[in-house]
Amino acid sequence: MRRAPVALVVVVCCGGAACGPDLPDRLTRSEHVRYFTRAADDDVCPALLDELEEHGQVIADRLGIERTVVTYYKYLSAADYAANADCGPDASACARNATVNSTVAFDRHELVHTYLASYGSPPRLFMEGAAVALSCERYPRPQGSWRDALKADRLSPKLYGAGGWLVGYMMRMFRKTWFVNLYGSLQINATEDQIATVFQSIYHMSLDDVWTAAIGEKQTPVVCEWECGRPTIPADAAPHELTAACGSGATHRTVDVPGEGVTRWVLEGGADVSVQSCDGFDAPLDKITSNTAKGALLAPLTTGRYIVDAVIVGPRSVTLSIDTNAVAALSTPYCGTVPPLPDDLSQYNTLTLFFPTSVGPQFTTFLNGDARSAAMTVTADGLVDISVCEGGCDTGCTTFVRATSLPGITTPAGLTLGVPPGPPVTINIGWIGS
């Protein structure tokens, strides 16, 4: 794509609806973006606009729409945003027509709203669904019907999750022009019957049938077009630096995984990293985190391309190493039949373990222990029972029923974790102290 010219301009606002005295007034602009920040905000630089230009073009091509000029107001803090953004109560960000208000330097969700603003204002199920699906956000599998979601509160995760699953499926399975047509054919206050009728006329299928197919998908059917096109990181077990456009904030990369053995991801520096599949395969539902020590992920992953979604805290050195064949197996359906994981737990401040979909139980044992106390969180598509055995497969075992957070556990040598059969489960262990 042609690199958009970037200019830095300081603007003095003299009132008016577009630029009032309460709004950020330092302007950085490119061909399709007018970006306003506070004078003291060093999280934004002209390089960020290159990414916004590319993002806008990728989404426009995916939807088959024309580019629009976007105005972006970036606030210094939540307090600054709450006092000046005029987005209504409880909203953490908003988009009005082609204008974004956010504390996040690159708010992909709100940007999608601005790209579609001139094409219509449909019910929020489709409006928020498009923003969720096209910004590659993950939500738990929806329950109930699309009619139930339609009635949910405008800021409800139920609405966002249902919309993301539905619209993501529609975009992946049908012509892209159909969604834009639907977007412009429905009013925000359309009734259930009106929505069903218009949908049938465009898609030649009932919305009930499409909804059933969408929520029956194995994984969240999001559309990660921009994220999956980012530069790749070599999966050679060597540390590679992660850098954001302006030194801190979000950055996205991809990695190609051959699918042999168990991958080990080691993160160093102040950052959070999420891993997501471009191909709809099982992927960890919790992130890798690091601060003063290392954070790691152990995950058996299916062959394919994966997104590395990183948030870097402050201008510091952050590295990520990816070994795609670290150990032969993470777990076994019969406790004790796979060698224990050899990792030295004392070198980590967090360790994330990913257990893919399975038809039998999965057991993982650690060869090396750690004297620090730890907290454990469990993330799954639904609530699951997790067993923790401090003395091996059948000694000192405790089963945590439907638990999502297990504070105050210990991790001695021989610790064994048991995960029941079913959908993917992600376990994050965070140690307390040096």
pLDDT level of residue 13 (50, 70, 90 thresholds): very low
Look at residue 15 and tell me whether its pLDDT is greater than 50: no
Task: Note the pLDDT tens digit of each residue in 399-408.
Answer: 888 878 888 8
Beta carbons of 328 and 262 less than 8 angstroms apart = yes
pLDDT at 278: 92
Nearest alpha carbon to residue 46 among 31, 58, 24, 57: 31
pLDDT at 315: 67
Question: Per mean pLDDT, which range of 146-155, 321-330, 383-392 is the poorest?
Answer: 383-392
**Domain 230-431, CATH class in plain words:** mainly beta
Q: What are phi and psi of 120, to 5 degrees?
A: 150, 180
Looking only at the bridges linking them, the beta strands covering 262-268 and 304-312 are unpaired
pLDDT at 434: 60
Which amino acid, residue 59? I
pLDDT at 47: 86
Using CA atoms, how far apart are residues 318 and 322, in angstroms rounded to an integer? Answer: 14
Using CA atoms, how far apart are residues 412 and 370, in angstroms rounded to an integer? Answer: 6
Estimate the crossing angle of helix 192-203 against helix 207-215, to 10 degrees: 80
For the chain, how big is the Rg over CA atoms in Å? 23
SS3 of the chain: the string is CCCCCCEEEECCCCCCCCCCCCCCCEEEECCCEEEEECCCCCCCCHHHHHHHHHHHHHHHHHHCCCCCCEEEEECCCHHHHHHHCCCCCCCCCEEECCEEEECCCCCHHHHHHHHHHHHCECCHHHHHHHHHHHCCCCCCCCCCCHHHHHCCCCCCHHHHHHHHHHHHHHHHHCCHHHHHHHHHHCECCCCHHHHHHHHHHHHCCCHHHHHHHHHCCCCCCCCCCCHHHCCECCCCCCCEECCCCCCCEEEEEEEEECCCCEEEEEEECCEEEEEEECCCCCCCCCCEEECCCEEEEEECCCCEEEEEEEEECCCCCCEEEEEEEEECCCCECCCCCCCCECCCHHHEEEEEEEECCECCCEEEEECCCEEEEEEEEEEECCCCCEEEECCCCCCCEEEECCCCEEEEEEECCCCEEEECCECCEEEEEEECCC
- Tell me the C-alpha to C-alpha distance, in Å, between residue 430 and each of 114, 319, 370, 387, 408: 39, 19, 12, 17, 10
Look at residue 16 and tell me whether its pLDDT is greater than 70: no
Most confident of 202-216, 312-326, 392-406: 202-216
Task: Note the pLDDT tens digit of each residue in 69-99.
Answer: 999 999 999 999 999 998 888 889 999 999 9
pLDDT at 86: 86
Look at residue 4 and tell me whether its pLDDT is greater than 50: no
Beta carbons of 97 and 114 less than 8 angstroms apart = yes
Look at residue 68 and tell me whether its pLDDT is greater than 50: yes
Look at residue 176 and tell me whether its pLDDT is greater than 60: yes
Tokens 């993917």 belong to which residue?
Answer: 424
pLDDT level of residue 398 (50, 70, 90 thresholds): confident
**Residue percentage of the chain with pLDDT more than 70:** 94
pLDDT at 12: 35
Residue 430 β-bridge partners:
350, 375
pLDDT level of residue 2 (50, 70, 90 thresholds): very low
pLDDT at 134: 96
Show the CA angle centred on residue 33, arms to residues 28 and 35, nearest 5°. 40
Which amino acid, residue 434? S
Using CA atoms, how far apart are residues 434 and 429, in angstroms rounded to an integer? Answer: 15
Longest dimension (CA), the chain: 73
Using CA atoms, how far apart are residues 358 and 353, in angstroms rounded to an integer? Answer: 15
Indicate the average pLDDT of the chain.
89
Domain map of the chain by residue range?
1-113, 120-229, 230-431
pLDDT mean over 201-222:
93
Task: Note the pLDDT tens digit of each residue in 39-65.
Answer: 988 778 888 999 999 999 999 999 999
Task: Note the pLDDT tens digit of each residue in 103-118.
Answer: 999 999 999 999 999 9
Look at residue 351 and tell me whether its pLDDT is greater than 80: yes
pLDDT mean over 404-414:
86
Using CA atoms, how far apart are residues 264 and 316, in angstroms rounded to an integer? Answer: 23
Q: What are phi and psi of 417, to 5 degrees?
A: -110, 135
Task: Note the pLDDT tens digit of each residue in 357-393.
Answer: 999 999 999 999 898 999 999 998 778 889 998 877 7
Nearest alpha carbon to residue 338 among 300, 385, 302: 300
pLDDT level of residue 317 (50, 70, 90 thresholds): confident
